[in-house]
């Protein structure tokens, strides 16, 4: 009698679970593989839905509420039909060798190809974000500090340069990495603050949010490139964390107090970057630093020839810094004229 009662209870429990699964997660049809297994804190079930996606949800043994969890790793149609219960559970749990992820929500990244039809291998940027750097830009342009804020911005950058010179000396690969971790902060901070300002005031930004975020993204791509050339040591990584934390908060406060000062300081910071990359090129020309082949990510990002070298990479990065110099000095000039950035069209895509 007791055995019969347990059997009836088990059938009722399984039927209840299937009803919940059918209502909230997927439709189980004849021939579908349904997997039940004991799990910590309750019972787990899983089955492929109509899209071929495996869905599983834990439920308690005592019939307490089911927790929805609809995003899982994909199984191929062949695996859905032919795999046994053991291999099915492995796919539900996630195969480490499987890179493709199929979402319950149907969000799928598009297949991207190069102009020649070959597959695009980079996830951090797309072909339409790559470009040819303008190497003809004037590298010697300089804004002479006149006002008090200009002089303050100029000497702030000069003071910050001394500890960098002492720490890195002529290790320009590591120096470039440190420089880019700092240089990528202002664009993000400025774009974020302009974004919030636009929301508060119900007004457009003149494209400056996009322009500043483009600058931050471009600087980050510089970092991703130099990561392929120089591997930072543990203490350099720790230094990056410290410097980034301090610089982010300082620049955030500075931008709130005076955008004209903040942009002017970045303009001078980019002038120092131009100087640093010029010294980098001199060391490459002397042979002090080996002129290794350009990283693949740099070739695709800047549309460089396949046989490009590290020297070519430094050339295009230096040109980028010169463009950032112009944009930030221009932004500061707008503020000095008593106007807001949105009143002047932003130089979007200025490379």
Is 208 a member of any domain? yes
3-state secondary structure of 336: helix
If one compares 77 and 156, the residue with the highest pLDDT of the two is: 156
Is 155 a member of any domain? yes
Dump pLDDT digits (tens) for 101-154.
667 788 877 788 887 888 888 888 888 899 999 999 999 999 999 999 999 999
Report how far residue 247's alpha carbon sits from residue 72's, in angstroms, rounded to the nearest whole number.
Answer: 39
| CATH code of the domain in which 242 resides | 1.20.1260.140
- Where does the pLDDT of residue 220 fall: very low under 50, low under 70, confident under 90, or very high at 90 and above? very high
pLDDT at 86 over 50: no
- Where does the pLDDT of residue 70 fall: very low under 50, low under 70, confident under 90, or very high at 90 and above? very low
Dump pLDDT digits (tens) for 230-246.
877 888 788 888 888 89
- Where does the pLDDT of residue 256 fall: very low under 50, low under 70, confident under 90, or very high at 90 and above? very high
- How does the average pLDDT of the chain come out, rounded? 78
Report how far residue 260's alpha carbon sits from residue 61's, in angstroms, rounded to the nearest whole number.
Answer: 64
- How many other CB atoms are found less than 10 A from the CB of residue 2? 6
* Both structure tokens of 183: 């240089």
Is 124 a member of any domain? no
pLDDT at 9 over 90: no
Distances (CA, A) of 98 to 57, 91, 95: 22, 9, 5
> Which of 37-40's residues contact partners 24+ apart within 8 Å by CB, and which partners?
37/89
Is 68 a member of any domain? no
| Closest to 262 measured CA to CA, from 161, 163, 344, 334 | 334
Dump pLDDT digits (tens) for 260-299.
999 999 999 999 999 989 999 999 999 888 999 999 999 9
Give pLDDT, residue 230: 80
152, 261 contact by CB (below 8 A)? yes
Give pLDDT, residue 167: 72
For the chain, the residue count is 351
Is 198 a member of any domain? yes
| Closest to 153 measured CA to CA, from 79, 290, 258, 307 | 258
| Closest to 92 measured CA to CA, from 42, 50, 33 | 33
Is 1 a member of any domain? no
Phi, psi of 119 (to 5 degrees): -70, 140
DSSP state of 55: E
Give pLDDT, residue 99: 62
pLDDT at 347 over 70: yes
| Range of the structural domain that residue 186 is part of | 148-343
pLDDT at 77 over 60: no
Is 109 a member of any domain? no
Domain count within the chain: 1
Is 115 a member of any domain? no
Alpha helices for 100-207 (secondary structure H): 148-168, 172-201
**pTM: predicted TM-score of the whole model, two decimal places:** 0.70
∠ CA 178-183-184, nearest 5°, is 105
Residue 188: CA count within 13 A, CB half-sphere? 15
Q: What is the H or E stretch that residue 268 is in?
A: helix 259-286
Report how far residue 199's alpha carbon sits from residue 30's, in angstroms, rounded to the nearest whole number.
Answer: 53
Give pLDDT, residue 16: 53
Q: What percent of the chain has pLDDT over 90?
A: 47
If one compares 292 and 63, the residue with the highest pLDDT of the two is: 292
Instruction: State the average pLDDT over residues 312-322.
Output: 96
């Amino acid at each position: 009698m007791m055995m019969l009662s347990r059997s009836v209870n088990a059938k009722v429990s399984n039927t209840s679970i299937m009803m919940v699964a059918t209502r909230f997660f997927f439709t189980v049809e004849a021939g579908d593989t349904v997997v039940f297994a004991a799990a910590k804190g309750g019972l787990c079930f899983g089955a492929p839905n109509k899209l071929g996606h495996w869905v599983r949800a834990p439920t308690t043994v005592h019939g307490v509420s089911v927790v929805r969890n609809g995003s899982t790793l994909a199984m191929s149609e062949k695996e859905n039909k032919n795999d046994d219960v053991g291999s099915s559970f492995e796919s539900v749990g996630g195969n480490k060798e499987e890179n493709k992820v199929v979402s319950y929500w149907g969000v799928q990244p598009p297949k991207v190809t190069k102009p020649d039809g070959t597959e695009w291998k980079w996830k951090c940027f797309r072909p339409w974000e790559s470009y040819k750097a303008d190497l003809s830009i004037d590298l010697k342009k300089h804004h002479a500090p006149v006002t008090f804020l200009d002089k303050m911005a100029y000497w702030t950058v000069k003071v910050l340069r001394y500890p960098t010179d002492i720490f890195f000396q002529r290790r320009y690969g590591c120096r470039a990495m440190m420089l880019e971790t700092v240089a990528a902060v202002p664009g993000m901070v400025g774009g974020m603050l302009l974004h919030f300002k636009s929301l508060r005031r119900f007004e457009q930004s003149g494209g400056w949010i996009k322009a500043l975020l483009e600058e931050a993204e471009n600087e980050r791509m510089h970092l991703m490139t130099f990561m392929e050339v120089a591997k930072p040591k543990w203490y350099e990584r720790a230094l990056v964390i410290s410097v980034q934390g301090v610089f982010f908060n300082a620049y955030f406060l500075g931008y709130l107090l005076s955008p004209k000062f903040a942009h002017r300081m970045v303009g001078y910071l980019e002038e120092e970057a131009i100087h640093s990359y010029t010294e980098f090129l001199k060391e490459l020309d002397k042979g002090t630093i080996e002129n290794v082949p350009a990283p693949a990510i740099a070739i695709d990002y800047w549309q460089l020839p396949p046989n490009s070298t590290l020297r070519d990479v430094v050339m295009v990065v230096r040109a980028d810094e010169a463009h950032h110099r112009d944009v930030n000095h221009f932004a500061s000039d707008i503020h000095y004229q008593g106007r807001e950035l949105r009143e002047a069209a932003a130089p979007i895509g200025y490379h």
